[in-house]
């Protein structure tokens, strides 16, 4: 009778993490496509100075007003893309939290735990560039 891996559940979480990350990256790309077009439209009517010393309340108000206007005009596609992206990253975060809380017993389990970014002092995960899923 084969022995079961003491980290079988953790290894399963690792597979789910990769799936969740791939889903979140796809959702990010879909959101970015809509959001970047909104930002391009905003820049046609409002500016956000690169130099913070040049900022004025008028710049800020005009930019935020234009951002809201174009975001609202994008309507349901923007809302759906935003919610889909947030839901996808929430799924990733939940799986990552379960992995972070695990106590690996094998080298395989340790390698899965090493995939998850550590939490910073503010309780949020350290930002890492998404890994390409092959």
pLDDT at 94: 95
Encode pLDDT of 22-61 as tens digits: 999 999 999 999 999 999 999 999 877 777 777 788 888 9
Q: Is it the case that residue 101 has pLDDT exceeding 70?
A: yes
pLDDT at 32: 97
- Of the candidates 34, 61, 31, the residue with the CA atom closest to the CA atom of residue 47: 61
pLDDT at 88: 97
* Backbone angles phi and psi of 119, in degrees to 5: -80, 145
What's the whole-number average pLDDT of the chain? 88
Q: Is it the case that residue 118 has pLDDT exceeding 70?
A: yes
């Amino acid at each position: 009778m084969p022995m079961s891996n003491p980290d079988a559940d953790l290894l399963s979480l690792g597979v789910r993490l990769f799936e969740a990350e791939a889903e979140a990256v796809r959702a990010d790309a879909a959101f970015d496509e809509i959001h970047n077009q909104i930002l391009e439209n905003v820049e046609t009517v409002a500016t956000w100075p690169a130099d913070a010393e040049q900022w004025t309340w008028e710049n800020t108000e005009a930019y935020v007003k234009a951002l809201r206007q174009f975001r609202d005009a994008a309507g349901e596609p923007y809302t759906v893309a935003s919610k889909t992206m947030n839901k996808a990253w929430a799924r990733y975060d939940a799986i990552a939290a379960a992995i972070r809380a695990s106590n690996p017993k094998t080298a395989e389990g340790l390698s899965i735990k090493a995939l998850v970014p550590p939490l910073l002092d503010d309780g949020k995960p350290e930002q890492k560039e998404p890994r390409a899923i092959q």
